[in-house]
Amino acid sequence: MKNKILGLIVNLNIFLLIIGGAIVNADTTKNNNEYKLIPREILFGNPVKTSPKISPDGKKMAYLAPLGNVLNVWVKTIGDTNDKMVTNDTNRGIRRYFWSEDTKYIFYLQDIGGDENWRLYSVNLETDNIRDLTPFDNVQVRIEAHNKFHPQKMLIGMNKEDPKVHDIYNLDVKTGELTLAAKNPGNISSWLADIDLKVRGAMVANPDGSSGLLIRKDEKSEWKITISWDFDDTLSSGPLSFSKDGKSLYLFDSRNSDTTALVNFNIETGKTELIAKDSHYDVSRILLNPDTYEVQAVSFTKERNEWVVLDEKLKDDFKNVSMLAEGDYFIYDRDNEDKNWLIGVTVDNGPVSFYFYSRDKKEGKLLFYNKPDLKNYKMSIMEPISLNSRDGLTINGYITYPKGGERKKLPIVLNVHGGPWVRDTWGYNPEAQWLADRGYVCVQVNYRGSSGYGKEFLNAGNKEWGGKMHDDLVDTVNWLIKQEIADPDKICIYGGSYGGYAALVGAAFTPDVFSCAVSIVGPSNLITFIETIPPYWSTFRSIMYKKVGNPETEEAFLKSRSPLFKVQNIKIPMLIAQGANDPRVNKDESEQIVAEMKRRNIDHKYLLFADEGHGFAKPENRLKFYEEAEKFLAKHLGGRYQKKLIDEKEK
């Protein structure tokens, strides 16, 4: 399926869920009446282990773990203790990797300083040789397709010939040879290959924001439009996979429906068969049989994740998996024979646990916790909330209270998710736990424009950046005050990416609502933000114009929604953080508003990380940011502050 947000403004909380973890094991500092704080190093440092992947032959397992505070890939034989680090990254750490289908290689992606020009590397597990397979400057690699039926081949996308679009290349896994498989004429936003790794599907991005699905019979045939989606359906629809015989497609489809359904589209007849649908929530995940490519299960992200099992043969397995541990479970990986699964279980008040599940034995075994030190602390629970916006929409979200004490008149941190076309979900969130532990109520709301609740709610955010989307945030604050949860004099608006923009809007548009603001990689001027999006977002530009605004024809409107032009209204203290190499939100977005605040003597602090992009990948940078944010919040909201780091205390 095409990337529905094209990577636009990634939710920092999701990033931290994957990366955040513990590498230390020591007592915490005690302050503020001897309250035992959860150390920042445990909440935001690297994990002990995370992201396991089983080898296709089911004999080995890989995972991420740090060496010298840098995440690398490790490999071990299942049932043995012969763990071995197979990569040698010494800088940013590896976060995206996978097995070759013949189990002889590990592949991983890495950029430089957060610029997101990903290169693809391979590790020969027999010789330990590491090879840069795409040694091209200023080129972004995307992994398009690989499967067990063609173990020596992989399809990758690169914008090597034209920085605005990705062409498709065949990669010979053994030799590293690249050959062009499909040339992008300039309007293809994503590609789709069949089981034989033949490029037979393509999504066309149209100037009016609509999209079309092109299909061809084989690589020598002409492309034909088979389905068209209008603008309202573009971000909630798209192809997922060909069937095994190549005669049909699985689609996410919201045509003639508010919510996104999973359907089977017959290419020859044009008929669509419904597979799964919910009246209130979009389909969020699907599980395909690795041999037959038939749909086995689907999930819906409601207040919690819910699975619907369609394959009778898997019902006992899902029942067994659901009993491995309390929490929401996900099938993280499977071997080629589908005999062994890796299961991840997330809870709201503890580490993510990973299990090895044998379908033959019908039993699971704990592999590891990603952050075992979290088990030494009592953590807060995350509770769902729901409220009505001023114009009648239902706004859902989550609230995490400090442990113990009355739930009245407390300091609030409104933690606004990025995207904005994603959503907050239930589960372990390091920021929510950090804030609650420091004495704040962490509130996360899925304002209009968030995904997962149907296209009407999603499209209610069109042209509402800084408008009704912000009204939803203010309505949430007013609801918290009315419920006597919030101290109206101690409310912070906080967020990354779109959430960072929302924090700037909160300070400049509604300065009387909030007492302070924290903005992480947030756009301050929607005109310059849109004008400086990465070149490879060219096929997404028309959607940006429809969703946010067109700088060429709506300059005055975009100025009216840009915090930069209302700096004079800011009267609350601000903390602003930015990665110098951010390709999505150029560093000028932070620096231009910081310059104006400085000129007007507005209380602020600016953190620029020279070796980061859109978010903070390096643990030392994360810890520096959260240290400054914690001091900032303690000063302006009165919460707790960890004065000493663990290693400082132990010296």
pLDDT bin (cut points 50, 70, 90) of residue 27 is very low
pLDDT bin (cut points 50, 70, 90) of residue 646 is low
Rounded average pLDDT over 10-18: 34
Among residues 23, 97, 80, the alpha carbon closest in space to that of 333 is found at: 97
What pLDDT sits at residue 6? 30
Rounded average pLDDT over 405-415: 96
Rounded average pLDDT over 388-415: 96
Rounded average pLDDT over 172-179: 96
Write down the mean pLDDT value for the chain. 93
pLDDT bin (cut points 50, 70, 90) of residue 35 is confident
Rounded average pLDDT over 64-78: 96
Take residue 177 and report the two structure tokens written for it: 């040879």
CATH numbers and ranges of domains, the chain: 376-643 (3.40.50.1820)
More confident residue, 30 or 181: 181
- For the stretch 346-387, pLDDT in tens is 999 999 999 999 999 999 999 999 999 999 999 999 999 999
What pLDDT sits at residue 34? 59
Rounded average pLDDT over 591-603: 98
- For the stretch 90-146, pLDDT in tens is 999 999 999 999 999 999 999 999 999 999 999 999 999 999 999 999 999 999 999
Q: Is the confidence at residue 29, as pLDDT, over 50? A: no
Q: Which of 241, 497, 515, 542 is catalytic?
A: 497
Q: Is the confidence at residue 7, as pLDDT, over 90? A: no
Q: Which of 582, 588, 604, 636 is catalytic?
A: 582
What pLDDT sits at residue 257? 96
Render the burial of 172-182: b for 16+ CB within 10 Å, e for the rest.
Answer: ebeeeebeebb
**Is 115 in the active site?**
no
Q: Is the confidence at residue 61, as pLDDT, over 60? A: yes
**Is 172 in the active site?**
no
Q: Is the confidence at residue 456, as pLDDT, over 90? A: yes
Distance CA 589, CA 595 (A): 10
What pLDDT sits at residue 319? 97
Q: What is the DSSP letter of 539?
A: G
How are strands ordered across the β-sheet holding 199-205?
188-193, 199-205, 211-215, 224-229
pLDDT bin (cut points 50, 70, 90) of residue 491 is very high
Q: What is the DSSP letter of 536?
A: G
What pLDDT sits at residue 462? 98
Q: Which of 146, 166, 417, 614 is catalytic?
A: 614
Check: pTM over 0.85? Answer yes or no: yes
Take residue 627 and report the two structure tokens written for it: 């240290």
- Cis peptide bond N-terminal to 420, omega within 30: yes
- For the stretch 505-560, pLDDT in tens is 999 999 999 999 999 999 999 999 999 999 999 999 999 999 999 999 999 999 99
The residues facing 355 across adjacent strands are 343, 366
What pLDDT sits at residue 469? 98
- Listing DSSP states for 289-320 in one string gives -TTT--EEEEEEESSSEEEEE--GGGHHHHHH
Take residue 566 and report the two structure tokens written for it: 């209302």
- For the stretch 199-231, pLDDT in tens is 999 999 999 999 999 999 999 999 999 999 999
What pLDDT sits at residue 5? 31
Q: Is the confidence at residue 479, as pLDDT, over 50? A: yes
Q: Is the confidence at residue 651, as pLDDT, over 50? A: no
Distance CA 410, CA 439 (A): 8
**Is 122 in the active site?**
no
More confident residue, 435 or 19: 435
Q: What is the DSSP letter of 48?
A: S
Please tell me the total number of residues recorded for the chain in this structure: 651
- Asked if residues 50 and 370 have their Cβ atoms less than 8 Å apart, the reply is yes
Distance CA 289, CA 297 (A): 9
What pLDDT sits at residue 2? 36
Q: Is the confidence at residue 13, as pLDDT, over 90? A: no
Non-local CB neighbours of 155 within 8 Å, separated by 6+ positions: 144, 145, 146, 168, 169, 170, 171, 181, 191, 193, 197, 199
pLDDT bin (cut points 50, 70, 90) of residue 643 is confident
What pLDDT sits at residue 33? 47
Q: What percent of the chain has pLDDT over 90?
A: 93
Distance CA 485, CA 389 (A): 18
What pLDDT sits at residue 20? 34
Q: What are phi and psi of 509, to 5 degrees?
A: -95, -35
